[in-house]
Amino acid sequence: AQKVTQAQTEISVVEKEDVTLDCVYETRDTTYYLFWYKQPPSGELVFLIRRNSFDEQNEISGRYSWNFQKSTSSFNFTITASQVVDSAVYFCALSSSIQGAQKLVFGQGTRLTINP
């Protein structure tokens, strides 16, 4: 069975601090995909990144970066120089590649609050 664990339920930091959101996953599949989604107060899940299990290169997109480590089954997300607009609930998700990602398994989410 597939499982995603986001151990941090809530994180609160002051603006401009760096913050890392942890994600640990379990799967027996050798090929799989990992995702991060952001859910602002409006409720709509916003796609941030997709990673396949064969690509362990870290990725940076502006203030966002992702660290994928297969050895520890982790896919952590770092926001550098956080801003108030980053406040949201962030979800990590996992899917088997064969299924075409229709069946995402989500973690419980981390509520991130950035204080001015």
- What does the binding site for other proteins look like in residue numbers (CB under 8 A)? 4, 33, 35, 37, 42-47, 50, 52, 91, 93, 95, 97-98, 100-109
Min dist. Cβ of residue 57 to other proteins (A): 16
At 86, give phi and psi (nearest 5°): -80, -10
Pick the closer one to other proteins by CB: 16 or 103: 103
Q: Which residue do the tokens 């664990």 mark?
A: 5
Min dist. Cβ of residue 64 to other proteins (A): 16
Q: Token pair of 85, please? A: 């607009």
Q: Token pair of 44, please? A: 């709509």
Host H or E run for residue 9:
none
Number of H helices, E strands in the chain: 0, 12
% helix, strand, coil for the chain, step of 5: 5, 55, 40
Min dist. Cβ of residue 4 to other proteins (A): 8
Pick the closer one to other proteins by CB: 7 or 14: 7
Pick the closer one to other proteins by CB: 15 or 49: 49
Min dist. Cβ of residue 37 to other proteins (A): 8
Pick the closer one to other proteins by CB: 62 or 100: 100
